Amino acid sequence: MTFLRSAVIFDGLTRGEIFSRLFLWWFGPGFVALFFDLLFRSTVYRDPLVSFVGPVLTVAVVWHDARRAGLSNAPILAVVAGAIPLLGWLYYAYVRAPRTTPASATAPALPANRPGTLRRLLDPFASERVVLVTALSASECSDRLQRSKVSLLAPSSWFSLNRDRPVHGRVSVGGFALKRRHPMTREGLITQASGRYEDRLGSTLIHIRIGLSLFDRVFTILWLGFVAMSLLIFSGSGSVSLQERWMFPIFMVLIFALVYVLVRLIALNDDAFLYRFLLSRLEAQDVTEREPV
């Protein structure tokens, strides 16, 4: 019920959640109409008027939500969101949710070994290692993390809001590997927090690494290796011109670089979110300076 309510009332939603809902309001009616056309008529013909249903619904939803939130320029925001897809939705998401993660003066300080912004953006091997300690047992830690993540085996969690289940990934008795939830974003190349538990005199030490997963690092290396091999193969081929030899490898590099940078921009501050999430959810303290990582 909360998920259905959040489709028209954006209170407490993140920017990504707001954007995803406007995406569904704009394109959803068209997809539904196309599905029924194929199902009952076996054709892809659509009445041009159907194309206006999505934008009109988007205008109505944004106007209703903006007016309810007390925004002074609700009509303008509604028209922009309905007339300019993508950019209009991003603009309304930023106006409606000024901060995805509210800043707090009492928020815990980030690890001293946190990589700089440029390294987090471009370096697939950039990571930070921390050690946390908590009075909870390893099983209690796993239970808390399990209740905080989306699970493929629990369909009810698929439609939960980010504030209720902000992470997804793997949780076991011995540790975890979690990533922050990003609506409409693929899982690959997203920052991951992986940890293992260690019992220590009535408390639990949690050794954590925050950065790209091993799979993502290997994938990046293999992809760059594939591009390098393509370059060697095309450069040694005498049947194509010099321009054509370079065109394919350069195109592959540009596509990969674009996807990599866009995804890493989305996940740029996920390390801070995951660190503070684990501190809060596991009632832990950072003891990195006293314990080997």
| Position with higher pLDDT, 254 vs 116 | 116
pTM: 0.81
**What is the per-residue pLDDT for 105?**
47
Q: What is the pLDDT of residues 168-200, one digit of tens each?
A: 999 999 999 999 999 888 889 999 999 999 998
**What is the per-residue pLDDT for 252?**
81
**What is the per-residue pLDDT for 106?**
59
SS3 assignment, position 136: coil
203-211 sheet: strands from edge to edge? 149-150, 167-171, 175-180, 192-200, 203-211, 127-134, 284-286
- For the chain, give the mean pLDDT: 87
| Position with higher pLDDT, 250 vs 148 | 148
Cβ pair 161, 237 in contact under 8 A? no
| Position with higher pLDDT, 118 vs 184 | 118
Token duo for residue 258:
């674009």
Q: What is the pLDDT of residues 240-262, one digit of tens each?
A: 566 666 777 778 888 888 999 99
Question: Percentage of residues in the chain with pLDDT exceeding 90?
Answer: 59
Predicted confidence band of residue 153 (pLDDT cuts 50, 70, 90): confident
